[in-house]
Amino acid sequence: MRKENYQNPTLTPKDGVLAYVIALSVSLIVGTLIVFLPEGNAQTLANYFVTQLGFLIVPFLYLKSRSISYLDAVPLKGKLNPIALILIIPITIGAFLQNTILSVAFNWLLEAIGITPTVNLPSTDGALNTLLAVIAICILPALAEELLFRGIILSSLKSKGLMTSCLLSAVIFALSHFNPAQFVHQAILGFILAYITVASGSIWYGIVMHLLNNLIALFVGMIIPAYNDLAVLNSQNLIILIVMCLVGVVILTLSLVAFYKVATQPHLKTHGNPLKLLSKKSAPEWWASDKSRSPWIIGFIIFMVAMSILTALTQYLML
């Protein structure tokens, strides 16, 4: 029954695009009120809360207006495997270690052309600020973004094929942050999240991974101050980043293989090869007859790319 619900045929790419665009528009409109708050941590926190609550509430209301069951669009049901949940920890750590060199190298490239990428994070000074930061940066995004990107958007792309839907949802997820500093890591992370969601038939593993990833991003610089120094381009940092990447690849690969063995839905099992799960033969229900290029998706990605470029140019002009 869960498989049939997850493959709801009434959810189209248009629905995925509109659910996101309307949620973003509402968040931006409500967010204009934030300019009346004093500049500083309160304004930063308010921005995060408004955006994530918009992503959490508006898509639900959109699906309701279309008479599409939320449970049909988002794989929330199903019993979780305790071992698979534990494996989410090394998967997250492996992905973070692997992607660090790619993120740092991309930032070096941006700095070489005069763009200094930044990520505006709320303060973690004091217990209250730390709690609010964890809610705004870790808990809310893990819920809202997974329900939207690995729930509604990923399901709406199923007719494009399993590999294509995972790739498209990952690119859309990365571009939605409108920050070139986060693009590489978010794109790879988005693909992994899409993979484990499809393989397991449950979005809860992705929610846990997203939460852990954001906790690492928020606190790694405080726990390991030397991590912040990796942003400086030199031979020593390059060696450290390469070693981190290699260790991360090993951890990520082994833990994903283990996750595949214990958590993959029986009808997606592919004789021990996790990559074959993405093939047409393995998951025919994700390969509908509609292979046409959707103008909604094409236009949406063009819009997201344009917004990301404008964001980068704004950062450059403000220097």
* Dihedral sign, Cα of residue 287, residue 186, residue 57, residue 31: negative
Q: What is the mean pLDDT of residues 31-54?
A: 86
Q: What is the mean pLDDT of residues 69-76?
A: 87
Confidence of residue 285 (pLDDT cuts 50, 70, 90): low
List pLDDT tens digits, range 80-116: 999 999 999 999 999 999 999 988 888 887 777 776 7
Query: Quick check: 69 and 151 in contact, CB under 8 A?
Result: no
- Please identify which residue in the block is written with the tokens 């930044």: 118
* Dihedral sign, Cα of residue 280, residue 284, residue 289, residue 292: negative
Confidence of residue 8 (pLDDT cuts 50, 70, 90): very low
Residue at 21: amino acid letter: V
- Return the axis-axis angle of helices 127-134 and 41-65, rounded to nearest 10°: 30
φ and ψ of 40, to 5 deg: 135, -150
Confidence of residue 282 (pLDDT cuts 50, 70, 90): low
Q: What is the mean pLDDT of residues 143-166?
A: 89
**CA end-to-end span of the chain, whole Å?**
55
For residue 100, give the nearest of 213, 206, 256 by alpha carbon: 213
- Residue 3: pLDDT over 50: no
Which range among 168-177, 189-198, 212-221, 290-299 shows the weakest confidence by mean pLDDT?
290-299
Q: What is the pLDDT of residue 301?
A: 81
Query: Quick check: 119 and 182 in contact, CB under 8 A?
Result: yes
- Residue 312: pLDDT over 70: no
- Please identify which residue in the block is written with the tokens 């592919």: 270
Confidence of residue 188 (pLDDT cuts 50, 70, 90): very high
Q: Which residues are CB-neighbours of 250 under 8 A, at least 6 positions away?
A: 94
Q: What is the pLDDT of residue 216?
A: 95
Residue at 180: amino acid letter: P
CB crowding 268-304: b at 16 or more within 10 Å, else e: bebeeebeebbbeebbeebbeeeeeebebbeebeeeb
CA atoms of 181 and 161, how far apart (whole Å): 29
Confidence of residue 7 (pLDDT cuts 50, 70, 90): very low
Count of CB atoms situated within 10 Å of the CB of 125: 10
* Dihedral sign, Cα of residue 303, residue 306, residue 311, residue 314: negative
